[in-house]
Amino acid sequence: MQTLTIIRPDDMHLHLRDGGALQTTVPYTARQMARAVIMPNLKPPVVSPADALAYKQRILAALPAGSRFEPLMTLYLTDKATPALVREAKAAGIAAFKLYPAGATTNSDSGVTDLFKLIPVLEEMARQGILFLVHGEVTDPEIDIFDRETAFIERVMKPVLARVPELKVVFEHITTAEAAQLVCQSGGNVAATVTPQHLLLNRNDILVGGVRPHHYCLPVLKRETHRKALIEAVTGAKSHKFFLGTDSAPHEKAAKENACGCAGIFSAMTAVELYAEAFEQAGALAKLEAFASQNGARFYGLPENQDTITLVKQPQTVPESLPYCGGLLVPMRAGQTVGWTVRY
């Protein structure tokens, strides 16, 4: 039986939610990942170091006994952010600030309305060595939803990188050939996370044969040409600039299957297996370890993890649903198989 042993990965983009949700979300990530960068878009958002450290304690309290999982905390960037807040965050050990353009995705109502007014804050991030995590979409209603990432690159990302060239930026959950190209052509201060859904699915998987709400995420899935461009990016000559970030985002089944159909895919249950499937399909399994376990740690300035996990080439059937906050949670690939299994 084929096996693959890799350094234990890190998830550099993860939504755990809060309260009772942590009893479901935390254990699934902790059994696969050593560390995870925790997104701050709670209600209310995590906007201060005190908020982040309190949230971290709630996450740690939900860990299974004996787990050594480490949450890496972030702050939600708002229009009220100041250089002094950046310095306070640095002193508190906060890993990064997260940009949500106002209205771009789930719980982004408190997001930034004009990033260029926060240039002094970004300059202080560059001085302090705090990372800037970017949800890269414009929210102009005149821009087609499939073009929002590309428009963001031209309107926001390139001008900001020109204004603050030392800023260390992670272009989160990229979905387009244009985003992959920007990362490849930028300096060593720019990297990107890529999700399993954007490596395995395209927009047909949302719309063909009926609307599939559990495949709806933001940024939305794109054309097959873009999916292929992402595969080429994570396996190609500049693959060291790309790393694992699931953007695993749980929503109760009833919230996904209703008139508003909230955005988010819960992939944490079989995250490493899904990535292994994508890399295997690309004939690049040998590059999975760097993507999952080394590139992100290096960019964040963290040591590589000392333990390993082993994947077995053995199909597993993903459950149709999981208990979640009194309701149900539908995981990615629900009711279907994944070609690999992590040996626990």
| pLDDT tens sequence across 190-243 | 999 999 999 999 999 999 999 999 999 999 999 999 999 999 999 999 999 999
Nearest to 230 by CA among 301, 294, 278, 176: 176
Positions marked active-site: 247
CATH code of the domain in which 327 resides = 3.20.20.140
How many residues are there in the chain? 344
Q: How many CB atoms lie within 10 A of CB 286?
A: 10
The response to whether 173 counts as a known ligand-binding position is yes
Give yes or no for a contact between 159 and 141, defined as CB atoms under 8 angstroms apart. no
Overall pTM > 0.95 = yes
The response to whether 17 counts as a known ligand-binding position is yes
pLDDT in tens, 43-83: 999 999 999 999 999 999 999 999 999 999 999 999 999 99
Note down the domain range covering 319.
Answer: 3-343
Domain count of the fold of the chain:
1
How wide is the angle at C-alpha 233 spanned by C-alphas 170 and 3, nearest 5°?
100
Give yes or no for a contact between 251 and 264, defined as CB atoms under 8 angstroms apart. yes
Percent of the chain clearing pLDDT 70 (strictly above): 98
Distance of CA 216 to the CA centre of its chain: 15
The response to whether 62 counts as a known ligand-binding position is no
Name the band, by pLDDT with cuts 50, 70 and 90, for residue 1: confident
The response to whether 263 counts as a known ligand-binding position is yes
244 φ/ψ angles, rounded to the nearest 5 degrees: -70, 125
**Dihedral sign of CA atoms 195, 199, 205, 207 in order:** positive
**Mean per-residue pLDDT for 69-98?**
98
The response to whether 13 counts as a known ligand-binding position is yes
Residue with tokens 């952010």: 81
Name the band, by pLDDT with cuts 50, 70 and 90, for residue 102: confident
Q: What is the CA radius of gyration of the chain?
A: 19
- In 274-340, beta strands by DSSP E: 308-312, 316-317, 322-324, 327-329, 337-338
**For residue 188, what are the contacts with CB-CB under 8 A and spacing of at least 6?**
none
